[in-house]
Amino acid sequence: MALTQEAKRISALFELSVHDLNRGVQEFLNQMNSGLKKDETSSSQIPSYVTRDSDGAEKDLYLAAYLGGADYRVCSVNMYGDMTFKLAFTKVTISMGLMLAKTAEELCAFLATQIEDSLELHHPEHYTTIVRKRQTPNDPSIFEDKVFQLGFTFSFLGFDIPDSVERDLCVLLQQEIDKRVLLVRVAALVNDTVSRLMARSYTASGKTRKLLGVTFDTGTNGAHIEKLANIQKPIQGKYDRSTGEMSTTNPGTHMYEKHVSGMLLDELVRLAVLHMMQSPDVLLFGGLDTIANNRTSNTAISGKSPIQTQLEDVLDSHALSVDDTRTFKEIANSVVHRAARLSSISLAAIPIHRGALNHGTNDEPVDIGVDSSVIEHYPFYLDMVYEGLRAILGI
C-alpha cells in the first residue's frame, strides 16, 4: 500500500492542470513574440529564409543527407509534381569514434563515402557517369546536367569535435564529395523541421493550411509559418553575413551602420559579383577574377577604391558584354538602393518620435542637415532616400 501511495504522490508531481496548461500556452506565445523582435531570447525565432511553401507541383530527383544523432541517412527523393513521390534511402550508424573524431574532415569523409555507396546502389546510371568522369578528368564535358542537388541536415547532439566549431560543414562535405568526383552539389543546409513543414506542404497542397513542422526526437524543435511583418528583428542577407563583414571592426555588430555606410557598400557589391563570377551557370565577366577576388580596403567612397581602379583597368583592356555591364550596374544599384531606404528609417524616426509632423502643429518643414559623400557621389541616392521616406507611415 505504501508503495502505491508513493507512486501516486510522485505521479502527481508531474501533472499539469488545465490552468497551468493555458498559462503555458500564453507564456509560449509571449516568448514567441519576444523572439520575433530580438535575439538572445528564451524562444529563438530563427528565420529560415524560406519564403513560400510547396504547391505540390515540384518535379525532379533530389538527394538528402540527414545526420541525426547516431544515425546517418542518405535519401533519394523523386518528386513527380502531383503531390506524390518515391523515396529510397540507406541508413548507417555513426560510431563513437566518428562522434569524437579529431577533425571535421574525418567525419565528412565518412559522410561522403556513404553518399557514394548510396549512389552506386540506387542510381547505377549516375554512378557510371561518375566512373567515366574519374577516368577522363580532363574531358571538357563536365556532365553538368548529371549533377544531383543535395540538401544537408545535421544534428550534433552527442558529437564532440572541437575542430568543427565555427566551420562551414557544407563546404567541408562538398570538398570530400569533390575528392570522390561524385557529381553532387551541396545545394542547401536545411533545418529538419523546415524540411518536415515543406514535405507536408508538398503532399497536402491545397488540402489543408500548413502552419507547423515539428520534431520530437533526440531533440525537440519546430518551424512555423510567420508573417514577415511580424519579424521585427533584422534578417541579414547572404552577403551581409559574409567573411567580408566579419573582417571589419566589431564583427557581427553595428550592422545597421555597415549596411548603410559607403565604406562597406563596395564590399557587398564585390561579394555578390564574386559569387556570380564563380557560378558555372552564370560566369559574369567570363569568370575573370581580377576584379572581385581581392577584398576592397576601407577607403572613403569620395576617393577611388581598389575595386573602382581595377574595374577601370578591366574595362580598358577587355571587351565586356552589354549583359555584363548591365548586371554589374543592377547589383551595385540594388545594394545602394537598400542603403538609401535604410537611411530613410533613421531620418524618419526622429521627426516621428518628436511629433514634428503631427497634424495641428505649425506647418514649418522639418530641416535635416546631412553630411554624406554617398549622397554627393552616387547618382540619384537622395531620390532613393526620399522614395523610402514617402513609404513610411507618419511621414
Domains of the chain: 1-48+193-394 (3.40.367.20), 55-190 (3.30.420.40)
CA 372 to chain CA centroid, Å, is 32
Which helix (H) or strand (E) element contains residue 79? Answer: strand 71-80
**pLDDT at 353 (0 to 100):** 66
**pLDDT at 49 (0 to 100):** 83
Q: Is 217 helix (H, G, I), strand (E, B) or coil?
A: coil
**pLDDT at 308 (0 to 100):** 54
Grid cell digits, residue 306:
581598389
CB atoms within 10 A of CB 123: 17
CB atoms within 10 A of CB 237: 13
Give whole-number Cα distances, 238 to 11, 109, 223, 250, in Å. 50, 27, 21, 19
**pLDDT at 66 (0 to 100):** 92
The set of residues, in sequence order, having a beta carbon less than 8 Å from that of 256 and lying 6+ positions away, is 234, 342, 346
How many residues are there in the chain?
395
**pLDDT (tens place) for every residue of the chain, 395 residues total:** 455 676 777 777 766 566 665 767 678 778 878 888 888 777 778 888 888 888 889 999 999 999 976 789 999 999 999 999 999 999 999 998 998 999 999 999 999 999 999 999 999 988 888 888 787 777 656 555 678 999 999 877 678 899 888 899 999 999 999 999 898 999 999 888 888 888 888 887 766 656 777 775 656 677 878 877 778 777 766 667 654 566 665 676 667 677 787 777 888 888 888 877 787 777 777 766 555 555 554 444 444 455 555 555 655 555 667 777 778 888 888 888 888 888 878 777 767 766 777 765 556 676 676 767 788 788 898 898 888 888 887 77
**pLDDT at 299 (0 to 100):** 41
**pLDDT at 337 (0 to 100):** 86
The percent helix, strand, coil of the chain (3-state, each to 5) is 50, 15, 40
Cα dihedral: 309, 314, 317, 318 (round 10): -160
**pLDDT at 298 (0 to 100):** 43
Secondary structure (DSSP) of 239-297: TTTSHHHHTSSSTTS-HHHHHH-HHHHHHHHHHHHHHHHH-TTT-GGGG--TTTSSPPP
CA distance 65 to 186: 9
Indicate the pTM of the whole model. 0.60
